[in-house]
Amino acid sequence: TTVKILIATNHLWRLGGSEIWTYVVAKELGRRGYDVDIFTFQPGIVSDKISKFANLVDMPSAYDLILVNHMSCANYLKDVNGIKIQTCHGVFPPLEQPSSMVDAHVAISQEVQEHLKQVGFNSRIIINGVDIERFRPTNRINNKLLNVFILCQFDEAIQNVKSACLRLN
């Protein structure tokens, strides 16, 4: 039988961090052959795109795994059967706060992990994935790369890029 996975996120009507995360994860899980459902309180532009490779559901049933993005969804889905893992994408927004209604927590950065620990929740860090089919070079990069732009909030990643640039002169 196919593994059933639910991804639950508060809203998919605009383009933002957790919306992109939902899209990328749903697309990859679908590509790997999992049966993926999406639950959201506020569908829209992102859920319209996701519906090409995942099923939008109004009332979730039972799942093997439930990936939850926001406290509102974790609390709403508390009685739905399945292992629930909440991914916390931020420190300050109320929706990003950890819920006690899930089995485990994931932090997307060390900053988020430290926040979760301060409020009494253990977590594992899993940095956001990147859709390498979408974000790849379209033109060949010449051998004399002169400028590098890194847009990242994770200090270790920034230092790794700086070190690589120094090594390559």
Nearest-CA neighbor of 12 among 73, 88, 97? 73
156 pLDDT more than 90: no
Residue 97, strand partner residues: none
Averaged over 149-168, what is the pLDDT? 84
Q: Label residue 153 by pLDDT band (50, 70, 90).
A: low
User: Confidence band (pLDDT; 50, 70, 90) for 152?
Assistant: confident
> pLDDT tens across 12-67, in order?
999 888 999 999 999 999 999 999 999 999 999 999 999 999 999 998 889 999 99
- Residue predicted with more confidence, 99 or 142: 99
Is the pLDDT at 137 greater than 90? The verdict is: no
Q: Which long-range contacts (CB under 8 A, 24 or more apart) does 150-159 make?
A: 153/109, 153/111, 154/109, 154/110, 154/127, 156/110, 157/127
- Please state the pTM of the whole predicted model: 0.82
Least confident of 9-18, 75-84, 107-116, 148-157: 148-157
Q: Distance (Å, rounded) from C-alpha 89 to C-alpha 104?
A: 14
Q: Are 63 and 79 in contact (CB under 8 A)?
A: no
Average pLDDT, rounded, for the chain: 92
